[in-house]
Amino acid sequence: MTRQPTTRPVSHSGALAGAILAGLIACAIALRFTGASAKLELLDPGAVVRWGLPLATTGFQLAMSLTIGLLLLGGLLMPEGANTARRIRVSRYAAWAALTWAACGVVSGIFNYADVSGTHVGSSGFWSNAWQSTWDLELLRNPAMTSLVGLFIAVVCFIGAGRGVQAALFFVGIAGLWPLALVGHAAGSLDHDAAVNSLAFHLLGVAVWVGGLLAVLLMWSRLGKGAPDVVARFSTVATWCIAMVGLSGVLNAWIRLGGFGGLGSKYGIVVMAKVAALVGLGVLGWFQRQKVIARLRADRASKPGRAAFARLAAIEVLVMGVAIGLGAALSRSEPPVSGESPLNTTDRAFSLTDYPTPSPLETGSWFTAWRIEWLFTAVAVIALGVYLHWVWRLHRRGDKWPITRTIWWICGWASFTYFTDAAPAIYGHVQFSMHMLMHMGVSMFVPICLVRGGVVTLAMRALPKRHDGTLGPRELVLEIVHSRVFAFFANPIIAAVLSFGTLIAFYYSPLFYVALTTHTGHVLMVAHFTLIGYVYAYAMVGIDPGPKRWAPPIRMLILLVAIAFHAFFGVAMMTGTTLLAPDLFTVLDLSWVTDPLVDQQRAGTVAWGAGEFPTLMLAMLIAMEWYRSDRAEGERAERQAERDGDAELNAYNDYLATRARVSSTHEKD
């Protein structure tokens, strides 16, 4: 009898512990190399803080990544059999990981305050001052907000989270990464948007990539025959994460290093070490996709194949730990390019809005002024690329997709990019009328184009259907469009009230000033009005599956009422004598804006005038649908008449004749 070779199983908890240890060691070495752990001359918080802060940050990031990865696994990737309880275990693991995330966040917050204030932990008045400063300083407040997200996830998971709840918590965890992007080294640099957005993408890619692999490795022994599908699905996710981490990392490093010259600094050497770790992870991931997944699919019960994946994943986890440790050390080290831009003291617009004062608006500026807003540009490029890929997928299998819908989709995202990257956005930060033009574009014109693109219908035809009860992209889209929540908001009356009600609430509240002066406020403003505009356009002229649409005459009536409210808003702003956001517009003192109030009144004209064209588009589309439905009804009636000899008309004529005879009889009587 030939003895089969044995493979020693990999300890998954040991791999996780090894990743943490590798991250801490890499962090400590990088700190020593860059000199960030050296004793400070003034305001030295002590060695405990100098060493403890980056180490606590490493634990914070690893626990956060593991939580997000577990929720990704349980909510979107992992099948559940009739006799398994995998999601219960994932929920339990995620609860403890999220609790660790919150605890490490508290510890790192304490160390952060000690570092900022230059005081020793536990000194006189330390705790009360730390609590107050946590909510006063963005550097302390934002990580604290992320820690609260971790605490919320822990509580929900301890109570019990099924598939849908875990999927929702995964997106909550992703949203919790945003505050961390606002406090990076380069967040105050000249290119504030690029610094914040690249760091946000970087954190997202690393968290999902690292956390997903940690989660798969932690649950590996319990995945059973579903392991090949889980690994294949995660491999697709990891591919997107690799691209996201690589591109965002290059952009962020370029900002911090100030070009190739910064690579020779100690900070640059640590950056290169982190790049090498990420490249190594990419190579390991490629090998896993090419070799291991094929072996697992060939024999789902193959012990050598499962052991090969476990070994390779354990190596990846260790390298990931090193990369996270190096990243934590970089966050503690001083980059060659200072995060503080000199424009903060020389440019009034930059000190208020984080954008430099543009040159005076001229005719050519409408075509030549351009500033890439990386977050929205990336969204537009990805949306276009995915849509065209789906169209090509249909074409390859012989299915057709209307070219007009593709044109609508391209026009929508091209317009979105113009309104968020070109003159309307550049001048919209300092000039009310241009801001209003940008707002009307992304909230009224762009959504109509996107809705007519029929992306949900395309997704239903292009995306594969899962048969194991997990939530893939197709299932997620269906869950959303057929949910009660979407049905409520897609009600034409509700959508119209939200669209125009939030418009008034936004401009006549402090939210307008927040959107003009903070990056988060600007992003939330664009996202909100684009989404609410999409829902409103969907309720009016949508072509995708979803809640039953109201009859065209009723929608036309709602549109006419909405036009009146929009006109009222425009006229109110045109005739208003109170300046909105005065703390910004009266301080800027731009040479080409002599009177901010006059410019505000001009913004009212833009709101009224720029809203007319999208409204006309909606009216024409509804009228066309009304005409087609009436024509289709008429053709249906004609076909029915041909089949039954016009029985309906004959019955009606007989009814009229009977009524006539009865009336004649009554008259004679």
Structure confidence at residue 82 (pLDDT): 67
Helix (H/G/I), strand (E/B), else coil: 66: helix
Structure confidence at residue 649 (pLDDT): 62
In 3D, which of 45, 157, 47, 46 has the Cα closest to residue 101?
Answer: 157
Structure confidence at residue 334 (pLDDT): 66
Rounded CA separation 457/461 (Å): 6
Give phi and psi for 422, each to the nearest 5.
-100, -155
Residue 550 CB: number of other CB atoms within 10 A? 16
Structure confidence at residue 416 (pLDDT): 96
Helix (H/G/I), strand (E/B), else coil: 335: coil
DSSP assignments along 351-399, one per residue:
HHHSSPPPPPP-TTHHHH-B---HHHHHHHHHHHHHHHHHHHHHHHTT-
Q: Which residues of the chain have pLDDT under 70?
A: 1-24, 26-28, 30-44, 82, 183-194, 254-264, 267, 285-312, 324, 327-347, 632-635, 637-650, 652-654, 656, 662-669
Structure confidence at residue 539 (pLDDT): 93
Give phi and psi for 372, each to the nearest 5.
-70, 120
Rounded CA separation 143/53 (Å): 13
Average pLDDT, the chain: 81
Rounded CA separation 396/393 (Å): 5
Structure confidence at residue 9 (pLDDT): 42
In 3D, which of 250, 426, 240, 261 has the Cα closest to residue 336?
Answer: 261
Residue 53 CB: number of other CB atoms within 10 A? 25
Rounded CA separation 576/657 (Å): 65
Structure tokens given for 493 = 């009356």
Rounded CA separation 585/174 (Å): 35
Give phi and psi for 578, each to the nearest 5.
-110, 125
Give phi and psi for 370, each to the nearest 5.
-155, 130
In 3D, which of 445, 485, 403 has the Cα closest to residue 609?
Answer: 445
Structure confidence at residue 71 (pLDDT): 94
Structure confidence at residue 299 (pLDDT): 59
